[in-house]
Amino acid sequence: MAPLTNGKVPKSTKMHSKVVIIGSGPAGHTAAVYLARANINPVLFEGFMANGFAAGGQLTTTTDVENYPGFPSGILGPELMDKFREQSIRFGTQIITETVSKIDLSARPFRYWREGEEHDEAETADAIIIATGASAKRLGLKGEVTYWQSGISACAVCDGAVPIFRNQPLAVIGGGDSAAEEATYLTKYGSHVYVLVRRSELRASKIMAKRLMNHPKITILWNTVATECQGDGDLLNNLRIKNVVTGEERDLPVRGLFYAIGHEPATSLVRSQLQTDLDGYIITVPGTTQTSVKGVFAAGDVQDKRYRQAITSAGSGCMAALEAERLIAEEEGSEEA
């Protein structure tokens, strides 16, 4: 079957698929490549600005990706995602540029609807892979939009090593374990790291907090919030900060600002139907991508609050595909027997 890209299946043909993948980041496309090569004919909904992201996901919003294996000179995020897409199509994945807006996981085959077509007859799938991703929470500070990815980042592991941050003063916002981890990681690159903590104590675990407080390149600014991101129009070079106890405001000249205030998993579609944790991440059986509903698998950032990397997302996309394929093979085998 010729791959159908940017396609709409006419409403009169109610589509049934063995496996539907929802989401088009590294997790969704890796799942598609594996399923397509296994002749499962997967259908991948890449979304139309779903969750605020273009098809291809979070990496479409960045420039150089330097830690994805296989690209020794690095690769631009959008280019990498074009390659993922090309590979999915090469093996026959049907990619649909629409957003899935409603889903019913109460019985198999599962039913789902496309955005704007919620009143139509549902389309169905024997198995579903949820790979809808996540997005970094933002603070909505003045100047944040101007300097987002031009000095402001939500991922120290992704961006810490880029030249603009080398030997420069940096700041991290947050008081939990991830803030502690990000700040410690950034000491490898920055000249000094300031951690802005809104309260007078850290939420981080004792061991992480101790490491943070004893680090010679880290200064914790207690009871402190950022109020404005300033720069030269191209790159960030200053933060206005405020002590919430004294009300005092001052400048903190930094070249990098890293948010460690959490991510929002894109789970509104399934939150009431699948088991999720308190932050809304889909819970999977450890070591697998199996969710609380048989036949529904979750891959990528939507189920991973710890690593949140392209390669880990791709890895779990592969796992989801292999698990979905095995389930379908078992069920087809038992039907034949």
* Enzyme catalytic residues: 155, 158-159
Nearer Cβ to ligand FAD (46/126): 46
With CB under 6 A, what is the number of residues at the site for ligand FAD?
A: 43
Residue with tokens 């010729």: 2
Query: Helix, strand, coil proportions of the chain in percent (round to 5)?
Result: 30, 25, 45
- Residue 82, helix vs strand vs coil: helix
Q: Which stretch binds ligand FAD (CB under 6 A): 131-139, 220-228, 242-250, 257-265?
A: 131-139
Distance CA 323, CA 317 (A): 10
Q: Is 31 in the site for ligand FAD (CB under 6 A)?
A: no
Nearer Cβ to ligand FAD (237/316): 316
- Triad 144, 145, 147: Cα angle to 5°: 70
The rounded Cα 228 to chain-centroid distance in angstroms is: 26
Given candidates 19, 20, 21, 22, which one binds ligand FAD under the rule CB under 6 A? Answer: 22
Contacts of 39 (CB under 8 A, 6+ apart): none
Residue 122 DSSP one-character state: P
From residue 297, alpha-carbon distances to 4, 29, 242, 319 in Å are 24, 14, 44, 9
Q: Which stretch binds ligand FAD (CB under 6 A): 23-31, 82-90, 170-178, 187-195?
A: 23-31
For residue 137, the number of C-alpha atoms closer than 13 Å in the C-beta half-sphere is 11
Q: Which two tokens stand for residue 65?
A: 């990706």
Given candidates 17, 19, 20, 28, which one binds ligand FAD under the rule CB under 6 A? Answer: 28
Per-residue binder mask for ligand FAD (CB under 6 A), 45-74, x = binder: xxx--xx-x-xxxxx-xx--x-xx------
Nearer Cβ to ligand FAD (188/199): 188
Q: Is 33 in the site for ligand FAD (CB under 6 A)?
A: no
User: 22 and 100 in contact (C-beta within 8 Å)?
Assistant: yes
**Least distance between ligand FAD and beta carbon 312 (Å):** 7
- Residue 304, helix vs strand vs coil: coil
Nearer Cβ to ligand FAD (56/151): 56
Q: Is 161 in the site for ligand FAD (CB under 6 A)?
A: no
Given candidates 134, 212, 236, 241, which one binds ligand FAD under the rule CB under 6 A? Answer: 134
Distance CA 44, CA 66 (A): 27
Q: Is 313 in the site for ligand FAD (CB under 6 A)?
A: yes
Distance CA 191, CA 333 (A): 61
Nearer Cβ to ligand FAD (132/290): 132
Site for ligand FAD in 270-309 (CB under 6 A): 300-302, 308-309
Residue with tokens 């950032």: 301
Q: Is 23 in the site for ligand FAD (CB under 6 A)?
A: yes
Given candidates 18, 20, 21, 25, which one binds ligand FAD under the rule CB under 6 A? Answer: 25
**Least distance between ligand FAD and beta carbon 62 (Å):** 4
- Residue 118, helix vs strand vs coil: coil
Tally: H helices and E strands in the chain: 7, 19
Contact positions vs ligand FAD (CB under 6 A): 22-28, 45-47, 50-51, 53, 55-59, 61-62, 65, 67-68, 99-100, 131-134, 136, 149, 155, 158, 266, 269, 300-302, 308-311, 313
